[in-house]
């Protein structure tokens, strides 16, 4: 059963989506008459569009305004074009790695709270974050080994994200139940079940020990695979809120020009990827 707070959060979601022009950009096909009228009214409340601004920019800005939980939800829905439509799925896919970083002091506090040791004791160097996503951010760091200094990647949970997500998922359940009630043609997509899947997978992601275990298992399974490498986990510096792993430089798979500049054979790369996927599936 939804609490009054869920309805308040739902109202805020609606207002942000209206102001950013996302509601007025929703395709009108299959919408009942009252929904089409509401959509036209929403268009009058939307802020003025900047010349050259794409719908994807407005959607990503709206989701970013709503906070980390909704960025995660947006990323999840980007993988479900059957639920949100191909165009919106493409727009939502732009949300990856667009989150603002949080202060280094908060990251250090999370590490020390999770591992029970000071950051200075754990790392010879601990640098400012280099990337941030909806649930965590990554810091470059240096660890002293018997063989000398080693560069590592330290992934740290975003402060308060668990509590925030627990509140936000309640609003998502409210939306999915309303969707099934007022848009009967969407029931075949099982929006409530989609929300439940999101809740379960995100809870798993918020325990970095599980991610570390998956990394280790994948590394063991692929150790003999040519052209495939998984970063090793530093278990001494890994806990619920932090995972430390081997640093590996690379190029994003989506950066085609970068892959070519690095000298990769794209056909061979695709073959390695597909063969690895089929072998381990």
Q: Are residues 244 and 270 in the same domain?
A: no
Q: Using CA atoms, how far apart are residues 254 and 251, in angstroms rounded to an integer?
A: 8
Q: Using CA atoms, how far apart are residues 178 and 209, in angstroms rounded to an integer?
A: 36
Q: What is the pLDDT of residues 228-272, one digit of tens each?
A: 889 999 999 999 999 999 999 989 888 899 999 999 999 999 998
Mean pLDDT score across all residues of the chain:
84
Place of tokens 């929403």: 42
* Count of H-run helices and E-run strands, the chain: 13, 6
Q: Are residues 278 and 244 in the same domain?
A: no
- Assign 172 a pLDDT band (cuts: 50, 70, 90): confident
Q: Are residues 155 and 214 in the same domain?
A: yes
Q: Using CA atoms, how far apart are residues 126 and 62, in angstroms rounded to an integer?
A: 33
Q: What is the pLDDT of residue 100?
A: 81
Q: What is the pLDDT of residue 35?
A: 65
Tell whether 230 is covered by a domain.
Answer: yes
Q: Are residues 258 and 147 in the same domain?
A: no
Q: Are residues 130 and 247 in the same domain?
A: yes
Q: Are residues 212 and 269 in the same domain?
A: no
Q: Using CA atoms, how far apart are residues 50 and 214, in angstroms rounded to an integer?
A: 44
Tell whether 257 is covered by a domain.
Answer: yes
Q: Are residues 264 and 126 in the same domain?
A: no
What the block records as the tokens of 207 is 């325990």
Q: Are residues 143 and 246 in the same domain?
A: yes
Higher pLDDT, 226 or 154: 154
Tell whether 108 is covered by a domain.
Answer: yes
Q: What is the pLDDT of residues 175-220, one digit of tens each?
A: 888 888 887 877 888 888 888 888 888 888 899 999 999 999 999 9
- Please tell me the total count of domains within the chain: 2
DSSP characters for 45-94? Answer: HSPPPPTT--HHHHHHHHHHHH-HHHHHHHHHHTT-HHHH-HHHHHHHGG
Q: Are residues 257 and 139 in the same domain?
A: no
Angle at 255 between CA 249 and CA 258, to 5 degrees: 65
CA 41 from chain centre, in angstroms, equals 32
Residue 217 domain boundaries: 104-159+207-252
Q: Are residues 242 and 129 in the same domain?
A: yes
Tell whether 211 is covered by a domain.
Answer: yes
Tell whether 31 is covered by a domain.
Answer: no
Indicate whether 69 pLDDT > 60. Answer: yes
What the block records as the tokens of 68 is 């980390």
Q: Are residues 138 and 277 in the same domain?
A: no
Tell whether 135 is covered by a domain.
Answer: yes
Tell whether 69 is covered by a domain.
Answer: no
Q: Are residues 274 and 232 in the same domain?
A: no
CATH number at residue 128: 3.30.200.20
CA contacts within 13 A on the Cβ side of 259: 12
Tell whether 154 is covered by a domain.
Answer: yes
Q: Using CA atoms, how far apart are residues 245 and 168, in angstroms rounded to an integer?
A: 30
Residues 6 or more apart whose CB falls under 8 angstroms from that of 211 comprise 155, 205, 243
Indicate whether 1 pLDDT > 60. Answer: no
What the block records as the tokens of 204 is 């798993």
Q: Using CA atoms, how far apart are residues 259 and 253, in angstroms rounded to an integer?
A: 7
Q: Using CA atoms, how far apart are residues 46 and 165, in angstroms rounded to an integer?
A: 27
Indicate whether 152 pLDDT > 80. Answer: yes
Q: What is the pLDDT of residue 109?
A: 97
Q: Using CA atoms, how far apart are residues 229 and 190, in angstroms rounded to an integer?
A: 37
């Amino acid at each position: 059963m939804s609490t009054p707070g869920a309805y308040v959060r739902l109202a805020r979601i609606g207002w942000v989506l209206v102001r950013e022009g996302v509601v007025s950009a929703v395709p009108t096909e299959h919408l009942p008459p009252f929904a089409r009228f509401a959509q036209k009214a929403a268009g009058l409340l939307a802020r003025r569009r900047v010349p050259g601004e794409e719908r994807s920019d407005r959607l990503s800005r709206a989701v970013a305004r709503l906070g980390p939980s909704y960025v995660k939800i947006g990323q999840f829905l980007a993988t479900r074009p059957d639920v949100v439509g191909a165009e919106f799925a493409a727009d939502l896919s732009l949300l990856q790695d667009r989150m603002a970083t949080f202060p280094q002091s908060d990251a250090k506090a999370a590490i020390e709270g999770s591992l029970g040791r000071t950051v200075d004791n754990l790392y010879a160097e601990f640098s400012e974050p280099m990337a941030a996503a909806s649930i965590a951010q990554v810091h470059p760091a240096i660890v002293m080994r018997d063989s000398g200094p080693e560069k590592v990647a330290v992934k740290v949970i975003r402060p308060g994200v668990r509590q925030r997500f627990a509140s936000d998922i309640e609003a998502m359940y409210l939306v999915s139940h309303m969707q099934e009630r007022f848009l009967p043609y969407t029931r075949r997509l099982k929006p409530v079940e989609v929300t439940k899947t999101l809740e379960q997978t995100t809870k798993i992601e918020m325990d970095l020990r599980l991610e570390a275990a998956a990394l280790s298992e994948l590394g063991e399974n692929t150790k003999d695979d040519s052209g495939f490498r998984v970063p090793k986990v530093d278990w001494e510096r890994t806990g619920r809120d932090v995972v430390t792993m081997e640093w590996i430089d690379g190029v994003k798979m989506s950066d085609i020009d970068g892959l070519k500049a690095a000298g990769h054979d794209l056909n061979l790369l695709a073959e390695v990827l597909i063969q690895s996927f089929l072998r381990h599936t």
